Amino acid sequence: MKLRNKYNLKYMNKTIIYLLLVSYFVISVAGLALTYFSYPFNFNYTEKLFFYATFAGLLGSTVYMTRGFYQNIVDPNKNFDANTWIWWYLCRPILGLVIGAASFFIAYLALDLEQTFKNQMAILLFGFIAGFNFHEFMEKRIEKKTSITE
């Protein structure tokens, strides 16, 4: 009986992670759609771009997590321990949101506003890449900061 409970718990945690991924995807797409239609708020153009970048960061981190989950589930040689990884699946989307918002401010402060914000797709792409590739994005920001301060 003990073995059966452990087996069920293993698959239950994978199911929870799957449901988390689906909910993150729905939240990010709904956030982008609500921002696009400015419903129920009436956003100005800069606020819209901020929320685009933020929800695009969430979408990017969700795509990254889904890819990692799929790779670990499909490969029978990998021993995917859902108990260990559940915290990563809970914290990573928050990082995606924060880094997506930070990418907006980086673009807003560091780049030419007229050129960057003429096309909304540029800020969406910047936020998505920031959320998807969090580690490399942060390494680039640290490199830029150290080169500026030296």
In order, the DSSP letters of 53-86 are HHHHHHHHHHHHHHHHHHHHHH-TTS---HHHHH
- What is the pLDDT, as a whole number, of residue 79? 78
Mean pLDDT rounded to a whole number for the chain: 80
pLDDT greater than 90 at residue 30: yes
Average confidence (pLDDT) over 40-61? 88
pTM: 0.78
Chain centroid to Cα 126, Å, comes to 12
- What is the pLDDT, as a whole number, of residue 147? 53
pLDDT greater than 80 at residue 140: no
Average confidence (pLDDT) over 53-64? 94
- What is the pLDDT, as a whole number, of residue 15? 85
Q: Residue 82 in contact with residue 18, Cβ under 8 Å?
A: no
Q: How many Å apart are CA 74 and CA 80, to the nearest integer?
A: 10
pLDDT greater than 60 at residue 86: yes
- What is the pLDDT, as a whole number, of residue 1? 45
Which of the four pLDDT bands, split at 50, 70 and 90, describes residue 106? Answer: confident
Q: Which of 23-27, 76-80, 141-145 has the lowest mean pLDDT?
A: 141-145
Tokens 């199911």 -> residue: 15
